[in-house]
Structures are given as structure tokens and as C-alpha cells.
Structure 1
């Protein structure tokens, strides 16, 4: 009989994309396996799962408040309702195991799994396990960690069940060649490519730095720069660039000055990661996993308001491995951005060493490792 796996994934792309990556590997390992997602109405779950053609069900769920407040009662009521809904779904589907991809968005599915006695595998992306992991991973059959540093930050009983797998990335991020990536993005093949992506929704700090430094970024020796502003911030950034740099021009889907191209959103991240010789990024765990799986050197600017400062710890882990340079958010100005990029581009040996360290840090087989843990927990 084929195994039915339910993947609990809610909230941000950082929770959805690992689930999608593991679903790919589950089907590769067992073509008869059935996969269904459980998500909540809040966040990107329904949008991304429809885009990728995945079967899913929505259960009640609300974000967990950081402190006691009226929102705590709303969260508790939604958790109770969502847990009952999840338990009913799991029993109806005949699920054999639940993979939880982290965060309180998984709480209803984990609680529902306990109600119907289905094993849980928990996946933690960050170097600092979040509150949800520290609370709920104690109920998991196995815990897959993205960073070795996370192990000692787990409750003692959980550490014995923790396995460092790395963070799952989708297959398409591993299979696109550099030349194909350059072609798909309409970039120049003979130049090194610097990718600047603050976040899927944009990062104002990154965008202000790009506006300030556009002239220098547009004329970096031997390099081209591709910037994603985030859809919601593009019009503001384009207006600022056009006012400041009359030599720039609007082109199809973006704005261009010399060898600098600014776009609202990079739809084709597999091509972008494949094309990148250097990336400037926030320090989200899945972003780091995608870049290091391809051996891309990193300039990391941790988001200062990330829960419990986990992006800072992610970034420092990459820096210790020799794969990245960390720039504090408050220090990211246009001049500092150009300084760090230029320093690395003008040091080919250092950049090559960072690429090798990034490749060593990357875990391109993480999705398969997690999928095997899931099947093992299911007894398949």
C-alpha cells in the first residue's frame, strides 16, 4: 500500500518551499506516494501551493503573539479549532506521517497528529531554533536541522532525535546551468553577475542603498548587477532612480542604467542563482540554502527584526564557514554596498575560496535526506 504523507506548511515561502522540495523527493523515492499539504489561510500557503499544483487543505490558524495579549486568546481558539480540523483531515486522508516545516503555522497539524497517533517529523531551518520548535519538536519522531549550530540549542531530550540534513531546496535550483541562467535572464555572458535580492517582498534598506549607489553599480569593472526591489517597492525605487539618474531608462519589466538592471521581482530564481557569481541577500535560512547549494559567495545583511535574532546567527554561521561576509543592516549604505562588492570582485582568489566554502556548506541532497526520514517515520 502506498504511503500518504501530509506536509504542514504555513506562513512564508521559507516554510512552503522546503515542503515543496521534500514533496518532489518523496515522489522520486516512491512514485506511489501520495502527498497532501495542510496550510492556513494566512500567508503564502494557498497562493504558492496552487501555483505548484499541489493538493492542499486549509485549517484554522493564527500567528502566535510574542507576549500575553488579547491576541493570545485568538491564537488559542484558532489552534483548538485547527487541531480538530487537522485530526479529521489526517484520519480522512489515511495519512501515515506528518512533516512539519516549522513555525506556529504547523501547530494545528502537529496537535492533530498527536490526537490520531500519527508520527511527526519536524524540520527546523535556522541556526537558532524558534519557539515553536523548542516547544513542539519534543513530540517529533525525528528532527531535521538546517544548521549544526541548532542542535545544542534544542531541549536535551530532542537532541538525540536531531539529524543535520541541511535545508531542502527544489530540484530546479540545482539543475539550471550558468549559461542557461544568463540566457533566461537576458544578461551578458562575458560579465560576472552580482545579484541583489533583499526579500520576496523587498527590503527598503537594500533599495535605498541601490538608489544611492546606482551610478557606481552600473559601471563596476567586468560586472553586471541585477537588483530585485520587491513588487510593492518598485514604483517608488524607479521614481527615485529616474529623478537622480537621467541617463537611466525604463525597459521591459524594469529600469536600466549601464550594466545595472532593477526589476520588481525575480520570477526565475533557479536561473538567477545559477547565474550569480556573488549575491547580496538577507540571511533567511532557505535563501542561504539555495545559494550555498550552488556554491555562491554571499554578502549577508541580516534582517534586524527577525524573531530572536535568528538571521544574525544564520549569517555568522555562514561567515565562520568562510562562505560569506556579514554587513549589519544599520551599516548598509550605498557606499558600503559598493565597497564590499568591489573588494570581493577585485580579489578573485578570495572570491574563489568563498565559492568553495559555500559549496562545502551547501547541502544539495537535503531534500532527499528529509524525505528518507519521513518515509522511515512512516514505516515505509
Structure 2
């Protein structure tokens, strides 16, 4: 094999659920020469620019119904595929690693047209459309939920869990003025917040506070009523960047059910009430949440069926019977794969180095 470092293009874009696992994996490949493929004006432009060279392409998600918009999307997909193909050729890349989403489509098509290996990681229990359509074209598909295998016939699938940032794997102090002995409820709605969840929680908060709990509520930036409830033991924050410390300290989380958040809840052994986002693509958050419910790590409520009275009573029951939360914490820990980034990085190494050996005369 050549003494030149292996050169890898990582295609990951849009949300923390796609970006953070890719970053965690890239950090395990520090001897590789890594460049990044993203989309303009998405989260990667803030997170990646100081870490790796960033290339951007214009590509969109796939509509579910055929129409004039479909042809525009396909034309843009074709153009972006040729753009990625030129990037791979000129950069002499050895392969592509992607965490799915619509940016994966041109990356996979371009790499396979050049005979380059592609390693794809799918974090959701119900794989996205691009993963389902293109998984057979990948050298290997790594999945975060074992259940995802059943949706990917014909692909080589390996369960590795989903990588998380290192701060979730090491003790991280909570930099908020919360007494160490009080029960703490963490309310998070994902990176954008969740107004419907926020409204339910504010209706329940007084009862939980009266029961002795403290609440840290990440409301997101788009809640017009974010400051409508006040209490000395209720901390309302539009954004909080120490989620590792918060989940490690929390006795209970109330959350959406994105794959990244569920992975963080598992590695921090945090019991949860999960309220899947009802408009997520193909309702994939409900599929994610179902696995946690089966394991006894969470209770799941569809948003349309959840009332404030029902949520209030559920949490009060746990505050009065903390042993239930202890058991749920143990169950959550059973779902964790703490060395996921190591496992995924090894898959990338094995695939790229195998391809490099086979191409050597």
C-alpha cells in the first residue's frame, strides 16, 4: 500500500443527528486526510469549517409525489452527482463515508460510478428513503438500531449503535445552580425545540415543582410563550449547549425521539417520556421510540393522545416511586453502545484499506 494517507470524503449535512455521529467517527480517523461534503446554509457551515475542508453542493430532499418539483429535484441530483464525481476524481479520494439524508444520494452515486467504496451509517430504526434505495450500492451499511436490518434486504448490514460526542461518555458537570439531592426533570424538544411539548410541560410544571422536582426546560428559539411561566426551580432556556451534563444529572427526560437524542439518553442512562414528532418523515420517530419502550427505558405517548393531566400524573407517579426510574435507567443503559465510534471507524478503515489493497498491482 502507498505511504500516502488514505483520503476520505464525509457526506453529512443538515442536523445534529447526521453531523454529530459523523464528527465522532472522523475524530477516530485522525490519521486519515478528511474533507467534508455539505449543503450551503446548513448546520455544517458552522460546525465543520474549522475542522475539515468543506465543499458544498445544492441538493434537496425527495418529494413523495410526482410533479414538476420532482423533475427539478432529479435535475439537481444529477448535476450534484457530477459535481461530487469531479471532486472525488480531482481530490484522489479513496472512498466516501455518509450518515444518510439527501446529501448521501449524490455522494453514493458519484463514488460508485468511480468504483470507490461507500460506508453508510443509518441512525434511525426506520431507515430513510435514501438509505433504503441505495443501501445495496454501499460496501457496508452500519445501523444504530438492530431493528433497521429488516428494512435493508440485500445489503451488508452491521449493527454498531450510533456514535455520540465524547462529552456524553465522560463525567460532565452540570453548570447550573441545581442542588445535588433534588430530582431533576430535563425537557428537550430537539435542536429546534418543540412548542407543543413546551405547552404541555408548562401546564404540568407547578405540580412537579410542588412535589420537590426542579426542571430545566430547553424551549428552542421559536416558542412565543417561552417566558410565560416562572418559578425559582424552573429554568427556561432557549438553547443549552451542555446536554451531556444535563442528561447525566437528570432523573428523567421529556423529549422527542430523534435517533441522536435517544442515543444520548441511552449512554447517560436517562429514563424518558418520549413524545415522537408527529410530522417526522414516515413517522420514523415513533419507530425509534418503540424500541426504547420495549426495553423498558421509556414510556411513549403519541402527541395527539397526550393530555396535560396524563403527563402530569405519569411524572408524579415516578417522583413518588423513584425506584421505577432506577429500573428504567438500568434498562436505558442496556441499549447503549459506548464504543460505537470505534466500531464505525473500524468499518470505515477495513472497507477503505481492503479497496486500497485490491487496487494495488
TM range (shorter): over 0.9
Query: Is 1:204 aligned with 2:195?
Result: yes
2:17 counterpart residue number: 14
Moved more, 131-140 or 102-111: 102-111
**CA distance in 1: counterparts of 2:135 and 2:210, whole angstroms:** 49
1:348 counterpart residue number: 322
Task: Structure 2 unaligned segments of length 5 or more: list them.
Answer: 355-361
**CA distance in 2: counterparts of 1:311 and 1:377, whole angstroms:** 30
- Misfit runs of 4+, over 6 Å: none
Match of 1:368 among 318, 321, 342: 342
- The alpha-carbon deviation at position 139 of structure 1 amounts to 0.5
**CA distance in 1: counterparts of 2:90 and 2:63, whole angstroms:** 31
1:333 counterpart residue number: 307
2:242 counterpart residue number: 268
Query: Is 1:224 aligned with 2:214?
Result: yes
Aligned to 2:225, the other structure's residue is in SS state: helix
Query: Is 1:44 aligned with 2:43?
Result: yes
1:130 counterpart residue number: 128
2:32 counterpart residue number: 33
Aligned to 2:28, the other structure's residue is in SS state: helix
Aligned to 1:185, the other structure's residue is in SS state: coil
**CA distance in 1: counterparts of 2:328 and 2:70, whole angstroms:** 44
Moved more, 324-333 or 367-376: 324-333
- Count residues in correspondence: 351
- The alpha-carbon deviation at position 323 of structure 1 amounts to 0.8
Q: Which has the higher helix share?
A: 1
Alignment of 1:241-260 (within 5 A): 241=229, 248=230, 257-260=231-234
- The alpha-carbon deviation at position 329 of structure 1 amounts to 0.7
Kindly indicate whether the alpha-carbon contact (under 8 Å) linking 2:277 and 2:303 is maintained by their aligned counterparts in 1: yes
2:167 counterpart residue number: 172
Distance 1:122 1:284, change over 3 A: same
- Root-mean-square deviation over aligned CA pairs: 1.6
TM-score (norm 1): 0.88
Alignment of 1:158-197 (within 5 A): 158=155, 161-177=156-172, 180-181=173-174, 184-197=175-188
Moved more, 337-346 or 363-372: 337-346
Kindly indicate whether the alpha-carbon contact (under 8 Å) linking 1:323 and 1:358 is maintained by their aligned counterparts in 2: yes
Aligned to 2:210, the other structure's residue is in SS state: coil
| Post-superposition CA distance 1:97-146 (Å, at most 9, x none) | 21110112211111111122210011111111121111011110011011
Aligned to 1:232, the other structure's residue is in SS state: coil
Kindly indicate whether the alpha-carbon contact (under 8 Å) linking 1:24 and 1:170 is maintained by their aligned counterparts in 2: no
**CA distance in 2: counterparts of 1:332 and 1:36, whole angstroms:** 44
Match of 1:288 among 241, 244, 262: 262
Task: Structure 1 unaligned segments of length 5 or more: list them.
Answer: 242-247, 249-256
Kindly indicate whether the alpha-carbon contact (under 8 Å) linking 2:255 and 2:275 is maintained by their aligned counterparts in 1: yes
| Post-superposition CA distance 1:160-207 (Å, at most 9, x none) | x10011111111221134xx22xx133222212211001211111111
Kindly indicate whether the alpha-carbon contact (under 8 Å) linking 2:269 and 2:332 is maintained by their aligned counterparts in 1: yes
**CA distance in 2: counterparts of 1:42 and 1:144, whole angstroms:** 28
Kindly indicate whether the alpha-carbon contact (under 8 Å) linking 1:302 and 1:328 is maintained by their aligned counterparts in 2: yes
Distance 1:220 1:71, change over 3 A: farther
Aligned to 2:283, the other structure's residue is in SS state: helix
TM-score (norm 2): 0.93
